[in-house]
Structure 1
């Protein structure tokens, strides 16, 4: 079963983290990625560009609205994601707890609808 781990955290702190390898990852994320790969759980994962590069669109009452930045104005921003394979929600939660962002942000774990 596939799960998406949505990483929410303080964008400023995420942007200030100093990458130390050629991929631009910090050592804790490099280790986490390697653990996912070795376990056969990694499907995909990406870090997102900052919210200053984002836009949101919606239609309300037949009118198109374009907003600069993310839709939600919150203290935590959506900063990246992983799509993983796990046998059940409990194992997916275990992987989320191992993600470095769980120490300073929030990881939302959601099952992917399989079609």
Structure 2
């Protein structure tokens, strides 16, 4: 075996020996990420279903307004505090803007694909 072939085999051999180690470390990280994504999707769908009070698979402006105001009324944190200080007209303007931001196809309602109240 020539020097470069032997060197190549050593590098391949080391990689082969270390691959299970690296995959073993990456496996839990990847599965944790998938689990976190699934949990996040579950929470997102649960909040969508809570907002969709007539259960038609869509969130109308009225449903969105009731859901958002209810959440803001009970939420803590700076964002909720700032929202509570707004006049009713300014609250409506904020909600209109948020709905328009999520309703990217300008349908006038939100579907599960649109739903991202935390954005």
* Same-fold status (TM-score > 0.5): no
Q: Which one scores higher on RCO, CA 8 angstroms, separation ≥ 6?
A: 1
- Greater strand share, structure number: 1
- Greater helix share, structure number: 2
Please tell me whether Structure 1 or Structure 2 has the larger radius of gyration of its CA atoms: 2
